[in-house]
Amino acid sequence: MDRSQKADAVAQLNAVFNEVSVVVVTRNLGMTVAQTTALRGKMREAGASYKVAKNRLAKLAIKDTDYTGLDDMLTGPVGLAWSTDPVAAAKAAVEFAKTNDKLEIVGGSMGAVVLDQAGVQALASMPSLDELRAKLVGLVNAPATKIAQVVTAPAAKVARVFGAYAAKDAA
């Protein structure tokens, strides 16, 4: 990598760090290309991204961002996972680490809040933004459905009574 490529890589990472809401740092302990490709696929499905970056370039990129606390975690063979959804990157990384012992969660950061390994796992156990929206819509929709059932129930009972009288008169 020449100097201009390094400057471009730092600028791209810096732009990413300014846009995302969570960054997860992972340690790669001899992952194969196929395993890394599978991890990237799982990240894409979850709405996150994964990149193996040079530690020195990543340290330069996190300067002047909320993620300066990640500086100590960037040692050895690390990869960075990020997403705009506060849970997606952590959830995908933790799920992949459960099935693959060559990926280790080092820590992460949610804005200026630095998370250790347990913090990232706790973040991964939380429901995603879409799941929370679905629960909220379900909670809002349930009372309206119950009100509609209660309001229509007396009319249905009256209709059944008239139906019974009509059947009795016809017989």
Residue among 37, 155, 157 nearest 96 (CA): 37
Higher pLDDT, 148 or 87: 87
Instruction: Convert the pLDDT of each residue in 69-121 to its tens digit.
Output: 888 888 888 899 998 888 888 999 999 999 888 889 999 988 888 888 888 88
Single pTM value for the model: 0.71
For 64, other C-beta atoms within 10 Å of its C-beta total 9
Task: Report the pLDDT value the prediction gives residue 131, as an integer from 0 to 100.
Answer: 77
Angle at 34 between CA 108 and CA 76, to 5 degrees: 40
Instruction: Convert the pLDDT of each residue in 19-65 to its tens digit.
Output: 888 999 999 888 899 999 999 999 999 889 999 988 899 889 888 88
